[in-house]
Structure 1
Amino acid sequence: MSGLAEATLSQQAYDDLKKSTMENLQQLRSLAEDALKQGEDLLFGARTKETKDGRVAHLYVLSILEQYRAALCLFDHHAGTHAPSLIRCMLEYLVDLINVLNDPAYVDQLKTENAHSDHKVFDAYVKAIYGVELEEPMARELKDLQAEIEAREKAKEQARSRKIENTRQKELPSLYSLLCGLTHPNLTSLMARHAHDDGSLAYCRPPSAAVHRMLLSIAIRLLSIALSQFHRFTDCDPERVTAMVEHINAENLRLQSK
């Protein structure tokens, strides 16, 4: 076979692969839209249990659905490389959702954490808005506050790892690590988002088809886990919830294996 014929065949194989990949991506995007609609229909047609954990769980699910919808909007409007930030937020809210449902006392823990954090932020804000040059005692106080915040953030990261483990969802730790790597504001993520191989820079460049598929699949999976919790804080029929989630997961897995 001549070199020209081999090149033609190679190009044809590449074109076929590209077409197949795009078709698969479109099918996955359709599944993502369908999963959103099913989730919204399920939530809006259900009655939330009037308990402390039920109300808080409802709040988390509302935000998870909104973040999922927002992530799809980013993909649809040439900003899909920023979707990992929203998908990571989905995961963090999902972790709290499951922990709240596993232990209603977790709500009190969240309130304590929020009160402590809100007090520190408000105090620093009040001192900053007056625009007064900081005297030495206040400057020292703010420096100490910054050190405390940094220490608390480190402790919070350790606590978040424990919270993720407490969900008993084995895939969440690895997904969280992956999403953190894609969202941290470092040079690696900036270069991956904007830099071409020839040195030029891109604006609103979509993620590669492979990355797009991966992120969509992760978002769909996180949403399905959230949907699987619905019957725990609403009057939804558990069998309906299970059937819906199993269908979404099966389709997601089928499309990922193609």
Structure 2
Amino acid sequence: MSKPVKVIAVTSGKGGVGKTNVSVNLACQLARKGQRVLLMDADLGLANVDIMLGLRPKWNLAHVLDGQCGIDDILIKGPNGIDIIPAASGIKKMADLGADQNVAIVNAMSALSADYDTMIVDTAAGIADSVVTFSAASHYVLVVVTDDLTSMADAYALIKVMHRDAGIRHFKILRNMVETREQAVDGFKRLQEVAQRFLDVNLEYTGFIPRDPLLIKADHAQKAVSELYPGANASLAFRTLAETVEKWPLPVGAKGGVEFFVDRVVSANSAMGAAV
């Protein structure tokens, strides 16, 4: 049996908060530390990992779902040697997949030939079924939140839905695009206070990524800031985040390889169906 892989869902209550940037740069920094990293673009109909990195994949998850190719055929290499599973962009049917089709995609992942240390799942933003399903199938859920009031409100709504529909109780909170650590912690405490008052969940502060003009320059160049400007404040913060993530333990009894993720997706869909 292949060794267990740590699966982390990176998600957010709304778009525009830097979620995909977090996914990409966390993957890069983990790879720089010697890990084998798989990054899945799980925004199935509005893919942006490949766009952010200036990549042009020939195949994507839509082709796997249509039976045109296998999962290994669509893998592309990203910065620092990370493997990327690209999704489709601008294909409505991919954005509207049902539970069975989500399971079919993830089942295809069990055919991956490589072993990985960490798998990062860059979900869509919001409360779509796929977001809840993929998050419930992961070891850890990392919620990206800015200081924008709608980001805070939508993060709370996302946590509420995940708890209600999938029974998720533990969330890691990453504060993004903030000026100082004090600002980051203050915003986290406000979200934590509301969640503890109304929900039976546990929120854990995971750190922050500072607002950094070099990150914006890297975006315009379609590069990861960790690759293009390794000494930038944002890059150093992503490195600290990677060091934190490395310390997160695998749950006892975790299965080997991505079979864990496949099994959990099936279980999550069954549980959500029973709750309806």
Q: TM-score, normalised by structure 2?
A: 0.24
Relative contact order, higher structure (CA 8 A, sep 6+): 1
Higher helix share: 1
TM-score for both structures, normalised by structure 1:
0.26
Q: Which has the larger radius of gyration?
A: 1
